[in-house]
Structure 1
Amino acid sequence: MTREQPGAPESATYVYAVCRRLDPAALSGLTGLAAGFPVRTLPLGSLTAVVQHVPAAEFTEDAWQQRLSDRAELERCARAHHEVVTAAAAFGPTVPLALATLYRGDERAQQALGADRDRFAAALARIEGHAEWGVKVSLPATVSESPQSAPSAPPRNGGAGRAYLERKRGLHQAREQHHDRALRTAEDIDAALSRLATATRRLRPHTQEMTGERHRLQVLNAAYLVTTVRERELLEAVELLRRRTGAEVEVSGPWVPYSFAGEV
C-alpha cells in the first residue's frame, strides 16, 4: 500500500523496483501506471530506483482502496507494475517493490529508500544469477468409488447394517490413506526440487473454490530460487516426477524473484 499520503503536491513518486546501475534507455517506451509521465531512474548512491511521477490526486489511499475493489483496474495496475519490473530485471538483478509504493516526491523517496540501502544490496546479491520458478502439484481429491463399494442408506436388519458400517468405515480409512499419500507425494516432490534450488518458499495451496476444480486437490504450491545454469535440470526433474508420481505438476517461470527479494 502507499507509504505516505501524497497530500498537497500535484504529483507523487511511484517506485517500482531497486536495482544496481541501469541505463535509462532500458525503460524507454514503458507506460507504467500513469500515461504521460516517463518511467525513469532515480539515483540512490550506488543503487538505482525505477520510478515514475503519478498524479497525486489519483493515487491517494482512498483511490487505491477503490482500485482494490475493482478487479479489472487492479489487474491493469498489477500488469503495468510487473511490466516495468520485468524490463528492469532484463538488465540485472532487481528487487521489486510492492504494488502502490508511493512517496511525496523524489527527495522523500531517495531518503526513505536510501535508509534501506544495505538491505537492498543484500537482496540483490542473493538473487543475482537466479530466477524464480513456481510449482503447483495437484492430485485427485478422493479415492475412486465404485457403485458396489459406495455405502447407500443403512439397512434395517442387523447383519446388513454391520456390513454397511464396515463399508463406510473402510471408505473413510481409504480416504484418509489417500490424503496421507497425497501429502507424502507433495513432500517428495518438494524435497527433490529443493535439492536443485538455492532457496525455497512454501506458499498456501489454492483451495478447490479458488481453482474451480472440485475433483482435484492442490497439495503443493511452492516457489524455487534457481540459478540459470540449473533451469534445464529443474524442468527435467519436473517431467521425471510427473511420470514417477502420476501427479499433475504445473511449472511456471522464469520469473523475477518476487518471493526471494525480501520484504522492504
Structure 2
Amino acid sequence: MTAPGPAPRKHTATYVFAVCGHVDHSTLATLPGLGENSPVRPMPFGSLTAVVQHVEAAHFSEDAWRERLSDHQELERCARAHHDVISAAAMRGPTVPLPLATLYRSDERARQALRQDTERFHNALRRIEGRVEWGVKVYTPTTPPPTATPPPTGPGRGRPSSGDGRAYLDRKRGIQKRREQHHDEALRTAETVDMAMRTVAAASRRLRTHAQEPLEPGRTQVLNAAYLVDEKRIDDVAHTVMGLRRSTGADIEMSGPWVPYSFVGEV
C-alpha cells in the first residue's frame, strides 16, 4: 500500500494591514489578526516595513467578501481585528493604515505594489509622526424651541374672518422663520467649534455628517470632523472642547486619540 503524500497546501494571499518605518516581530507575535492560523508579521520592502498576515485566499474572494459585508457581526469582527493590528504597530511609531481587505496574491506581489507608493508612504509617515487624530462631533436640537401660540382672534365658531386668515399665515411665516434662524444658528455653532479646534490642530478634515439616528430623534449632527494634533497638545484639545461646550451650549462629543486614519491619504 502506497503511503499518502503530503497534504496539499492551501492557496494563500498576503493581507496588508499597514506600513511603517520599522516594527519588530515581538510587537506582532501575540496578535491573532484575522484568525487565519498564520502569524501577523513584519515584511520589509526597501526602507519601509509592511505589517502582513497570510490568509486563505478563498476566505477573501470577491464572493466571500461580499458575503462578509452583508453580515454585520462578521464585518465588525474583521474591522476590529484590522484596527487592533494597526494600533499595535502604531504604539511603536508612526504607522500608515491601509484599507480593510488590502490583499495581494503573494508577498512578492505585495512588495512590488507597495514599492510603487514608497514616496507617498514616507510623506505620510513624516506628516503624522508624533501626532494623533481626534474626532469631534457637534449636535444641536432638531427643531427650534416652541414659542407661545397666541389665542385665535375673531369669532370662535362659524366662518373664519379675514383677520383669522392673516393670523394663520403670520403664524406659518413665523414658524418658517424660526426654523431658518435655528438652522443658521446651528451652522454658526458648527463653524465656531471647527475654527476653535483648528487653533490646536496641525491639520483638519470636515467629514460627512451622519443622518439623524432613529433612537435619537431630538438632535441633529451639524459637524463631524477629524483633527490631527501633536501628542503634546492633548490637554489643549480637552480644554478647548470643554470651553466650547460652555460657550455654545451645544452637545459636543470628542473621541480619541486614534491612529491618524483621516490624514494618511492627503500627501
**Same-fold call, TM cutoff 0.5:** yes
Q: Which residue pairs with 2:66 in the alignment?
A: 65
Kindly provide the amino acid, as one letter, of the partner of residue 207 in structure 1. Answer: A
Q: Which residue pairs with 1:4 in the alignment?
A: none
CA positional deviation for 1:147:
5.9
SS in 2 for 1:220: strand
CA positional deviation for 1:158:
1.1
Kindly provide the amino acid, as one letter, of the partner of residue 75 in structure 1. Answer: E
Alpha-carbon displacement from aligned partner over 1:159-211 (angstroms, at most 9, x marks no partner):
11111110110111011001101100100110010111111000011111x46
Q: Which residue pairs with 1:259 in the alignment?
A: 262
Match of 2:220 among 217, 222, 226: 217
Over alpha carbons, which structure has the higher Rg?
2
Instruction: Report if the CA contact (8 A) 1:9-1:104 is conserved.
Output: no
In 1, the alpha carbon distance for the partners of 2:150 and 2:15 equals 61
In 2, the alpha carbon distance for the partners of 1:185 and 1:19 equals 38
In 2, the alpha carbon distance for the partners of 1:149 and 1:58 equals 66
Change (3 A) 1:121 1:9: farther
1:163 equivalent in alignment to 2:194: no
1:228 equivalent in alignment to 2:207: no
Q: Which residue pairs with 2:128 in the alignment?
A: 127
Alpha-carbon displacement from aligned partner over 1:100-131 (angstroms, at most 9, x marks no partner):
00000101101100111111011000000000
Change (3 A) 1:163 1:61: same
Instruction: Report if the CA contact (8 A) 2:133-2:258 is conserved.
Output: yes
Deviates more, 1:161-170 or 1:139-148: 139-148
1:206 equivalent in alignment to 2:210: yes
Instruction: Report if the CA contact (8 A) 2:138-2:250 is conserved.
Output: yes
In 2, the alpha carbon distance for the partners of 1:11 and 1:142 equals 54
Q: Which residue pairs with 1:27 in the alignment?
A: 28
In 1, the alpha carbon distance for the partners of 2:146 and 2:80 equals 43
Q: Which residue pairs with 2:44 in the alignment?
A: 43
Change (3 A) 1:205 1:246: same
CA positional deviation for 1:48:
0.2
SS in 1 for 2:175: helix
Instruction: Report if the CA contact (8 A) 2:34-2:82 is conserved.
Output: yes
Alpha-carbon displacement from aligned partner over 1:216-245 (angstroms, at most 9, x marks no partner):
111000000000111110110000000000
In 2, the alpha carbon distance for the partners of 1:143 and 1:109 equals 54
In 1, the alpha carbon distance for the partners of 2:141 and 2:162 equals 35
Alignment of 1:94-133 (within 5 A): 94-133=95-134
SS in 2 for 1:65: helix
Change (3 A) 1:18 1:112: same
Kindly provide the amino acid, as one letter, of the partner of residue 254 in structure 1. Answer: P
Q: Which runs of 4+ in 1 moved over 6 A?
A: none
Kindly provide the amino acid, as one letter, of the partner of residue 242 in structure 1. Answer: R
Kindly provide the amino acid, as one letter, of the partner of residue 92 in structure 2. Answer: F
Change (3 A) 1:222 1:76: same
For structure 2, the 5+ residue unaligned runs are 1-8, 153-158
CA positional deviation for 1:148:
2.3
| Alignment TM-score, normalising by the size of structure 2 | 0.91
In 1, the alpha carbon distance for the partners of 2:147 and 2:99 equals 50
Q: Which residue pairs with 1:172 in the alignment?
A: 176
1:197 equivalent in alignment to 2:235: no
Alpha-carbon displacement from aligned partner over 1:29-77 (angstroms, at most 9, x marks no partner):
1111133110001001110000000001111111111111111110000
For structure 1, the 5+ residue unaligned runs are 1-7
